[in-house]
């Protein structure tokens, strides 16, 4: 059975994960508007991944006898000054999510909730990957600068990303 504090914290994180999905969908719309379909595809894949993260937590709360209580999702920004600014915000956002996950782990340890601590370890590892990927693309955009050809090459590369939800994503 989940402690009441942990249940609330996980419910808050479900909302944060859904906001992440919503943010990345907004970024996809920005890139579509800029004619960068590869960047847009990458962000739509990220949107799907964040939804699966929320669903994993949704299922976990239920498995532990808790009750999911969904909250409002804030509207994300919709305008950026450049593709680089989008990935600067992406990295900052992922760093913020890492902090939220770390606080969940801290709470699980404080409550001696070893099952939740174990469950959250997947998210800890996932956040290392999320930050590294966002930073790598941000660094490439910094190197590209105002080089349109470089931007189009990166757009083509990012457009190859395919997100395949886990086979049990309807349960996650």
Where do the domains of the chain lie? 4-71+80-158
In whole angstroms, give the CA distance from residue 164 to residue 148: 30
Pairwise CA distance, residues 31 & 38, whole Å = 8
Is 70 exceeded by the pLDDT of residue 24? yes
Average pLDDT, the chain: 96
Instruction: Give this prediction's pTM.
Output: 0.94
Counting other chains too, the contacts that 123-127 makes at CB distance below 8 Å and 24 or more residues apart are 123/53, 126/53, 127/94, 127/97, 127/98, 127/101
Which residue reads 């469950």 in tokens?
119
Please determine, for residue 168, whether its predicted confidence score (pLDDT) is greater than 90.
no
Give the mean pLDDT of 15-37: 98
What per-residue confidence (pLDDT) applies to 166? 77
Say what the pLDDT of residue 165 is. Answer: 82
pLDDT in tens, 138-162: 999 999 999 999 999 999 999 999 8
Express each pLDDT in 46-77 by its tens digit.
999 999 999 999 999 999 999 999 999 999 99
Instruction: Tell me the mean pLDDT in the region 79-104.
Output: 98
Mean pLDDT of 92-115: 98
Q: Which of 52-66, 87-101, 156-170 has the lowest mean pLDDT?
A: 156-170
| pLDDT at res. 167 | 75
State residue 22's pLDDT score. Answer: 98
Task: For domain 4-71+80-158, give the fold.
Answer: Ferritin (1.20.1260)
> What is the mean pLDDT of the segment spanning 5-21?
98
Q: What is the pLDDT of residue 45?
A: 97
């Amino acid at each position: 059975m989940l402690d009441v504090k942990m249940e609330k914290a996980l419910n808050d994180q479900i909302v944060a994960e859904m906001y992440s999905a919503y943010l990345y969908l907004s970024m996809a719309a920005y890139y579509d508007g800029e004619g960068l379909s590869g960047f847009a595809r990458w962000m739509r894949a990220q949107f799907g991944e964040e939804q699966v993260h929320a669903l994993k937590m949704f299922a976990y709360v239920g498995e532990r006898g808790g009750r999911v209580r969904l909250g409002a999702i804030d509207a994300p920004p919709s305008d950026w000054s450049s593709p680089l600014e989008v990935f600067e915000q992406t990295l900052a956002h992922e760093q913020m999510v890492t902090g939220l996950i770390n606080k969940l782990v801290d709470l699980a340890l404080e409550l001696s909730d070893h099952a939740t601590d174990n469950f959250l370890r997947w998210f800890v590892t996932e956040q290392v990957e999320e930050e590294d990927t966002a930073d790598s693309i941000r660094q490439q955009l910094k190197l590209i600068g105002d080089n349109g050809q470089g931007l189009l090459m990166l757009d083509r590369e990012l457009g190859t990303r395919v997100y395949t939800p886990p086979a049990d994503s309807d349960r996650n």
